[in-house]
Every structure is written in structure tokens, then in C-alpha cells.
Amino acid sequence: MKRNSSIRILAFILCALLTLSTLCSECVFAEGEVPAEQNTAVEGETGNEGDGEGNGPMNPPVTDEPPNNDIIVIPSDANALILMDAGAQSPRGVPGDIVTIVLPMAVNKEYLPSERYMLRNINVIPDIPTDTSVSNWPFDIIDASSARHLQDMSYNSTAEVYFDFRISQFATKGVYPVNFRVNATVWRYDDVNGTTITEDVTFRVGVWVTVVDDGSMSGVTTSFGCLQVAGTNLVGYSSIPVTSPGKKITLKIPVVNVGGDLTNVTITPVVSTNLDEFPFVVTSTNLGKSYSTWASGEIKNIEYTFKVSDYATTGNKAIRFKSTYFENGSAAEASFSTQITVVNGYEKDISAMSVMVLSYRLMVKGVETSGLVAGEEAELVLTVKNNSSSDTAKKVLINLNFANSPGLTLCPGSTDSAYINSIRPGGTATASLKIMAKPDAEAGYTMLGIGLTYENNDSVTGKANQNIMIPISQRMEIKLGTPTVYGSQIKGREGTISLPIINMGRGKALNVRVIAADGLEQPSATYVGDILPGGSTAADIDVVFTKLGSYWGSLIVQYEDANGALYTAVTQVQLNTVEAGSGNENNGNTDQNNQGGSGWSDGILGKWWFWAILAVLFAALLYALIMALSKKKEDETTDNEPDREEEEFDLVELDDQEQE
């Protein structure tokens, strides 16, 4: 009986394990894996449909015949008359010419196939478009009607039609299509009924006309200017006149028309207050020269006599002339220039003094600083010095130039210039301007340009340009993660601490290094390197534990910005150091939340399914044990019942005997 109970217990445990394995397989399938039966079924279905070798029906392939696209339909020519040789009769001409267009026409035998067909009432009319601009009709419209009437034509008939047209002056050169409309009546004798049948038809024929030049009213102008100084190949070599201040000079300029025919031409010298551009004394208000016509390719000599100014300086001077004219009926203008040479020119014997920026200061909220942080506003205080020992600098104007300063800009509501009324000889003065570093400025030194304009006592203007260097830095922020200790924490021995480092700032962290302290020693600081904005790294620090017991060690992180400024961040790590050989050595990894241990949570004991299986097995064993004990008790009760009946029977017999 005990043997049967054990067998039942083992059978129950086996059923529990099978049930648990089935549940696990169903969980695996629920996560996306396909059972083998389903894969087999799908493959079988595909095989039946694809090659027809399965149990399912096999569908025969259906092939559609491609359409026959080789049939070519050739339409009939609808024109009753056709041109016999239009290319040989294509005329050419220039605007103003009268060109003759000849239309040699023949009867289309496909349209009139026999002598019983006749073409009557034939009228040929030029097909003048409704829009009669020169873009599509290059002829002058002179006659009210240009229709031509032809005699009757039949099978094998030919005819020539002549039209004379005058090419318009508004036409531009090019090739133009000229179309003609033909109206006629087709007459045919009907042999069956003995009657005649008539039909009115209209069709068009066309030729091409070539215009080889632009008309005088076409409006086409030369884009680079018609009037230019003639080259040496046209007029020979022309020397540059040499003169000096106070003398008269005659300019002879050969000018050629490189465009079309010109009308109403006017040439005027360009007068300027700058003696380097116009070094002459102006004695008249009407310096222009006019020409009624100027033919294409014609060369004219333009002459001007000027007196050289007494203040003309030495050097070559370019004298510009401007011309206006009408070309092909459209107004246009052009410019050309010539040169002269001035010797023994006027020399200025006075000059302005030297003014310069001596130094500058940066004030942020009233406190002087050596540089700017990105996004920070500052007051730029410039110290300007007059280097002259005798002249006073007047009307000193200071301008900031941000062309080479991508990281700097003006403060909102401020200006880029400052004004100083005067600076005494050898003296200094200050000027303030508002600037700011852009939020996205790169860290480092940026160059700011400063321009100075001033005058001396004789109103002679002087200029100076300088550059100053302003350091810009981005806000630095290094975030330190939770340190992790690897290896045993034994006093006097080495260990490794891993420290996560994240650059949360907008600037690059340079020369990052880690120093261990407070119970930790290291031969030298651990060098990490540079960390880009948004970058992260983990520093492995080799240390020696110098204290005993539980204590907090310090990790000091030092780094620099682009300007060399030093920053420091500190974090602490909890340590529990023991003596060597004490038996309590920490052989596992530790961090701030876990001191010691073997890391069992990373093994099989940290898996939830392990504990679930263990709980099911424990419940099954407990249930089996209870059932076994219950069965055993039941069996003992069953075994004791016959003995009780025998005892009761013996007692009854004894009572009967006593009564007797």
C-alpha cells in the first residue's frame, strides 16, 4: 500500500512538471514564434498552389495574347491642292525690301482621282493672323485685300500664284512661317444618277520667309552699348596726353558705333567733385555734343578742351563719357572712357594726427571681467588716445565692425558707434558701447574690429582701424554619476573605481582628470581627455585603500574650458575596508547602494521564472505529502475495523456466559 502511495505521488509530480513545460511553451509562442505545425501547414498550402503536386486543385496558367500593334493606318491628304516645290521658292530679305512669294500648286490626285472631278471657284488668300505683331507676321499690311482667283483645275492641272510683300521695319531677323487659305468648290459628275455633286472645301498651304536683319523700328538694342572707343586696328595707335595742373588739354577720342544705326545721339562727359575722376575746372553747364544720326560701323572723333585743376594730383586719371541714343526705335545708353596723365601734381603738405585705441575694459553688471560668457551682455569701455603733441583731435567717431566677429553682436536697443567731441594733444578719452556674446558662440577668442574717424584743426580727416581680442566661454557643467568599486576592499591593496562623467554644458570640456582623496591614494591623477558637449565617458581609477572600516572617499574631477579656466567637481564613494586575512574580505563589486555580495541577482536566482517553478514544485510536494498522510491514516483505520468487530463479538459471548 505504501508503494502505491509513492507511485501516485511521483505520477502527480510528473504531471505537474509536464503542465508547467506546456505553459512555458505557450508563453514562447505568444511572444511571436510560430509552431512547427503551423509552419508545415503553410508550406503545404504553398506547395499545393505553386506546383500542383499537393492534394489541392491545380489551376492551369492563363496567358493573354498581346494586342496587335503592327497595323498602321495612313490617312489621306485632305488638301485638294499641294505645293510642288516650296523650299526652292522661300524668299529672303531685310526690313524695307519687297519679297515675292511664289506658290507652285498642283492638283492632289488622291483628292481628284479622275477627269470627272473638277476644282472650281478657287481663291487663295494670305492668312493674316488676328494678332498682327511682328512676332508672327513680319510684313506691312498695305492692300485691303490680297486674294488671288484661279481658273478651274482638274486632273493633272498646275498653277503658280504670286504675292508681293514688304518686310516691316518693326521685324527682327529670323525665319517666319507665311500661311495661305484656299477656298474652292469640288465638282463631280455622278454616272449613276446622271447628276452633278458639288462640295465646298477650305484648306491651307504655307511657305517660309527669312528676315536677315533687324528693322529700324524693331526695338532691338545692343546690350553692352553701341558707342565704344575705336581700337588700334581701326584708327591706329592713340597716345595718352600728358599734362600738369593749371594747363589746358585737348582730348581727341575716336568713337565707333558697334551696334545698329543710331539717331538723336548725345555724348556728355561725366563731371565729378572727385579730382581723381574729373581733374578739370568746369567752365560750362552744357558740355554735351549731339549727332542726328550715326550709322552702324561709323567712326567719329570727339574733341573736348579742358583746363586741369590746380589741385589735381599726380597720376593717371580715367575720364568717363556717357552717351544716349535711339537704336531701332528704342532709347538706350552707353558709356566709354579715356585716360590722361598728370605730372607735377598737387601735393598735400598737411595730414591728420594719429588717434588709436589704447586699451579696453569689459564691465558686466558694473563688475570688470576678463571675458564674456555666451549669452552675457557687457559694456565695452574704450580708451582712445591722441598721439599728436600739438594738434587737437576733433569729431572723433568710433564704429564697431562685427564682420569678423561671428560670436559677438550688439545689445538690443544699442548702437554700434560712439562720438567724442575732442581729445587734447597727448590726451585720452573714453567711450562706452553695449555688446553681447551670442548664446551659440564658440568658446575661444574672437576678434572685434574698431574704426576711428577724426579731424585736426585744419579740418583734415584722418582714419584708423584696429582690432581687439575678446575671450568668450560657454557655460561649463559636468555631471558625475554613481561610482562603482570593483575588486576586494582591503587596506593597503589596490582597487578600481569606475566613475561615469557626462558633459551637460554647451562647451567642450578639456583636459579632464580625476584625483582620488580621503582614504584613497593613487600614483598620479587619472587622465580622461576631452569630452564634447553632450558626450559621456566612464573613468576607471586605480586607487589604494589607506583607511580601515566604513568611510567616504572623495573623487575630484578637474577640467578646463577653451580659454584655460579651471573647473572642479567633487563626488564621494562609500567604502568598507577590511584587514588582509580577516576572513571578511569583500570579494564582489560594490557601489553606493550595494556593499559586498556575490552578485547573485545577476545569476539564475535573480530570474522570476526560477522562483515560479520552485513555488509550483513546493506546492506539488506539499499536496502529495498531505494526500499520502491522509491515505495512510485511512488505510490504518480500515485495518483496525475487523479487530474491533472481533473484540465486540468476544465481549458479547462473555456477557452471555456470565448470564448463564
Whether the pLDDT of residue 15 is over 60: the answer is yes
Q: How confident is the model at residue 145 (pLDDT cuts 50, 70, 90)?
A: low
Closest CA to 148 of 162, 136, 158, 137: 162
Q: Supply the DSSP string of 114-140, one letter for each residue.
A: STTEEEEEEEEEE---SS--TTT--B-
Identify which has the larger pLDDT, 31 or 534: 534
Q: Positive or negative, the Cα torsion across 166, 171, 177, 181?
A: negative
Distance CA 255, CA 338 (A): 11
User: Looking at the DSSP assignment, which residues form a beta bridge with residue 397?
Assistant: 419, 453
- Give the model's pLDDT for residue 353: 75
With cell 591728420, the residue in question is 352
User: What's residue 657's pLDDT?
Assistant: 53
Task: Indicate if the pLDDT at residue 327 is higher than 90.
Answer: no
Pick from 458, 298, 343: nearest CA to 393: 458
pLDDT confidence of residue 5 = 58
Q: Does the pLDDT of residue 430 top 90, yes or no?
A: yes
User: What's 303-317 look like in SS3?
Assistant: EEEEEECCCCCCEEE
Lowest mean pLDDT among 211-225, 268-282, 440-454, 621-635: 211-225
3-state DSSP assignment of residue 259? coil
CA distance 603 to 599: 7
Q: What is the DSSP letter of 579?
A: -
Among candidates 505, 496, 568, which has minimal Cα distance to 538?
A: 496
The three-state secondary structure class of 536 is: strand
Residue that has been written with the C-alpha cell 530679305 in this structure: 93
Question: In angstroms, rounded to a whole number, what is the distance separating the alpha carbons of residues 424 and 393?
Answer: 7
Query: Which residue in the block uniquely carries the three cell numbers 570688470?
Result: 368
pLDDT reported for residue 434: 93
Distances (CA, A) of 25 to 29, 30, 177, 197, 463: 6, 9, 86, 96, 89
DSSP string covering 347-372 = --------EEEEEEEEEETTEEESSE
Distance CA(103)–CA(85), nearest Å, equals 8
* Residue 579 confidence (pLDDT): 85
Cα separation, 636 vs 616, in Å, equals 30
Question: Distance between CA atoms of 592 and 575, rounded to whole angstroms?
Answer: 8
pLDDT, residue 598, reads 40
Q: How confident is the model at residue 78 (pLDDT cuts 50, 70, 90)?
A: low
pLDDT at 365 over 80: yes
Q: Report residue 418's pLDDT band, with 50, 70 and 90 as the boundaries.
A: very high
Q: How confident is the model at residue 138 (pLDDT cuts 50, 70, 90)?
A: confident
The C-alpha cell at 573 is 564613494
| Number of other residues whose CB lies within 10 A of the CB of residue 595 | 15
What are the φ and ψ backbone dihedral angles of 631, each rounded to 5 degrees? -65, -40
Angle at which helix 2-30 crosses helix 608-659, to 10 degrees, equals: 150
Q: What is the DSSP string of 452-521?
A: EEEE-TT--EEEEEEEEEEEEEPPP-EEE---EEES--BTTSEEEEEEEEEE-SSS-EEEEEEEEESSEE
For residue 516, pLDDT beyond 60: yes
Q: Which residue has the higher pLDDT, 483 or 651?
A: 483
Q: Residue 576 in contact with residue 549, Cβ under 8 Å?
A: yes
pLDDT of 627 higher than 60: yes
Average pLDDT over residues 38-43: 36
- Enumerate residues 6+ apart whose C-beta is below 8 A from 179: 126, 127, 204, 205, 206
Min mean pLDDT across 153-157, 305-309, 403-407 is at 153-157
Residues paired with 7 in a beta bridge: none
* Cell triple for 9: 505521488
Backbone phi and psi for residue 278, each to the nearest 5 degrees, phi listed first: -145, 85
Task: Give CA–CA dist 528/541, Å, rounded.
Answer: 10
Cα–Cα nearest to 171, from 91, 94, 263, 92 = 94
Looking at every residue in the chain, the average pLDDT score rounds to: 78
pLDDT exceeds 80 at position 294: yes
Give the residue-averaged pLDDT of 412-427.
91
Rounded Cα distance between 157 and 153, Å, is 5
Q: What's the pLDDT score for residue 651?
A: 47
* Structure confidence at residue 72 (pLDDT): 40
Q: Is 159 helix (H, G, I), strand (E, B) or coil?
A: strand
* Stretch 181-197: mean pLDDT: 77
Percentage of the chain surpassing pLDDT 70? Answer: 75
pLDDT band at 144 (very low <50, low <70, confident <90, very high): low
pLDDT at 648: 52
Q: Is 229 a residue whose pLDDT tops 80?
A: yes
The rounded Cα 501 to chain-centroid distance in angstroms is 35
Residues 6+ apart with CB under 8 A from 565: 473
Which range of 61-70, 160-169, 531-540 scores highest in mean pLDDT? It is 531-540
Phi, psi of 50 (to 5 degrees): -80, -50
Does the structure show a pLDDT above 70 at 637? no
Q: From CA 119, how far away is CA 62, in angstroms rounded?
A: 58
H-run or E-run covering 633: helix 608-659
Residue 428 has pLDDT above 80, yes or no: yes
Check: CB of residue 336 under 8 Å from CB of residue 255: yes
